[in-house]
Amino acid sequence: MGRLTDKRIWITGASGGLGERLAYSCVAEGAHVFLSARREDRLQEVKNTITARGGRCDVIPFDVRHAEEAENVRRLIGHVDVLINNAGFGIFETAADSSLDDMKSMFEVNVFGLIACTKACLPVMLHAKSGHIINIASQAGKLATPKSSLYSATKHAVLGYSNALRLELAGTGVAVTTVNPGPIKTDFFTIADKEGSYVKSVGRWMLDADRVAERITSVILTDKREINLPGWMSLGTKLYQLFPSFTEKLAGRVLKKK
């Protein structure tokens, strides 16, 4: 028995990385998790680990780029108490070198898929007068850096959407939390940082995926507005928002670590 016993939690992007760790963390608190991602084989491996531990897990393969299918997935799940929009990816390239295909794919996954899953769950949550939508954004949504123009743009969009949604849902019983982590030790960087230069530069500061997952799990079904990790990076983004020109001059070299 745990704090989330019998709560039904849908996690997208759950075949690895933070999504997988979130699944384990939620199950440890008694939740029944529903896992979505493109890679069914990896989802099944995660499910096998969960069931071996006595947890409850269902797998529903789903590529969030196909936003029109989100409602069908939600119907397969039934009632959803918590939606964790975790699916996302990035590619670190200059604006000049970025392709239109990369732009389309990143917005389809990071923004349109997130919105589609949210819209699919909202009627159920509003009817129940309870629920929680957790959107995994990024510190990049608050502080853009070189070679992340497209990725930062998608995360800015996620924050804007989430902030407006939170205001719309005030008083309905449905909470909205955004999670803004810095770099996390996951396979995210196998795509984002193909040269490995960014990982070498910031590796010692990377967040542990299990600890991030536990932090997120601890605020499920609360009215927590934001989670910003790590704390020192959050202070940097606040400084940037107050004094953008000064921060760019002061931390210019650091911001160009990619």
Token digits for 11?
A: 């996690």
**DSSP letters along 152-170, please?**
HHHHHHHHHHHHHHHHHTT
- Check residue 92 and give its pLDDT: 86
Q: In the annotation, is 151 catalytic?
A: yes
Listed residue (136, 125, 140) closest to 178, CA to CA: 136
Alpha carbon 218 to chain centroid, angstroms: 15
The CA distance from 234 to 202, in Å, is 16
Q: How does strand 226-229 pair with strand 8-12?
A: unpaired
Domains annotated for the chain, with CATH where assigned, are 8-255 (3.40.50.720)
Task: Per-residue pLDDT tens, the chain, 258 aa: give them.
Answer: 799 999 999 999 999 999 999 999 999 999 999 999 999 999 999 999 999 999 999 999 999 999 999 999 999 999 999 999 999 999 889 999 999 999 999 999 999 999 999 999 999 999 999 999 999 999 999 988 888 999 999 999 999 999 999 999 999 999 999 999 988 887 765 655 556 655 555 555 679 999 999 999 999 999 999 999 987 777 778 877 787 787 777 665 655 565
- Check residue 202 and give its pLDDT: 58
Q: Which helix (H) or strand (E) holds 244?
A: helix 244-250
Listed residue (73, 75, 108) closest to 89, CA to CA: 108
**Catalytic residue among 24, 151, 198, 240, which?**
151
Token digits for 168?
A: 């719309």
The CA distance from 122 to 118, in Å, is 6
Q: At what angle do helices 149-168 and 114-128 cross, to 10 degrees?
A: 10
CA 150, 152, 156, 161 torsion-angle sign: positive
Looking at residue 207, what DSSP letter applies?
A: B
The CA distance from 154 to 65, in Å, is 14
